[in-house]
Structure 1
Amino acid sequence: MPRFFYKDCVVGNLQRVDHKGDVFTALIDGRKTSKLGMDNRVFHYLIGPGKNTKNRIWFYDPGFKKGLVIAGVGEAAECRNVERNMSFNTQYKLAIRPIIAGILAWFAAWVLLTVPVLTLYGGNVRNGVHFLETITVVIGCGTAALFLAHALWVVNKVKNLDRWRTGSTDSYTKEMSSAPAATLNKPKVKAAAKAATELVD
């Protein structure tokens, strides 16, 4: 289930997961997240004017464990100078992806329905093929329409950031562990104790 919420927080220590991609690892109020999506506008704001400062950040969770996406970021105090993530209304998401999804759904419908439909129609193959053509086109167009409707819905949500509710990022982040630092200190303590014992002897 998609979620839309905002939080006043500090996002830092940004590192790209893929050098050509838009997914980052980051710290959100000191807690680590391994999947944080954003476009270059948001990224340059967070490493520029918004670096190491508390900002109001609008998060979008598309579901399916894809991680958080920053839909917008601005000054926490007055919510001014809001930088919006423009990757939601790209030609790929509004046109190309729905078409690809429709074609794949059309092809999958042909593969899955050919044998059952032709078996059902028996000797009347012509009517069976006509029904297959109709139903697969409907499935393909319906799938494409659903993808387009979802993309437009998200774009409309991003245009109305002021209507989003506050939320928490704790379920998307993990506490930074301090165990490795403690482990590294143990050998030093043991070495110091051994040296002190040798001096006494």
Structure 2
Amino acid sequence: MKEIIIATKNQGKVKEFEALLAPIGFRVQSLLDYPDSIDVEETGKSFEENAILKAEAIAMHYQRMTIADDSGLAIDYLGGKPGIFSARYAGPDKNDQSNINKVLEDLSDVHALEDRSARFICALAISIPGEKTKTVVGTCEGYIATEPQGENGFGYDPIFILKNRNQTMANLTKEEKNQISHRAVALKKVIEVIKHS
């Protein structure tokens, strides 16, 4: 069984990676398994740049195949914000509820659903020591709800209404989300890359 490090301490993300990678023979580890893990500063100007920075630093440090993701929410009305600052939109403490509140506040004057269009974006970088880093991107289109709905998921899921469905990402079961999320779309592309590694 091949080992792969997911360069995150987010348990929600780790579970999503595990659900998709374990069936194809990968033992998934995360930075939670490495208490001494290095901190990689996200100084990139795009999701892809940040994912590459993290993947290459962790892969080199531990000499293992590493996948890093940088993902977030891009809202058209806000010019693509929160974008790469999604986790820290309301401040450095990365509080999901505070971030949701800030987005709802920023859109409080925007009432028509079509004007609240948004997408989740996930960039994944696959770094294997001694090889060129590869990247893939997945997106999921939708709209921002006027109030949170649903109990599942994490991050902005409770306010993200999926396009062509009258429900938020937080209304989906874990299995449903793993079929259609931005991370699932990117991971399906990643699986093709790492199968040939």
Higher relative contact order (CA 8 A, sep 6+): 1
Pick the TM interval, shorter chain. under 0.3
TM-score normalised by L of structure 2 = 0.26
TM-score normalised by L of structure 1 = 0.25
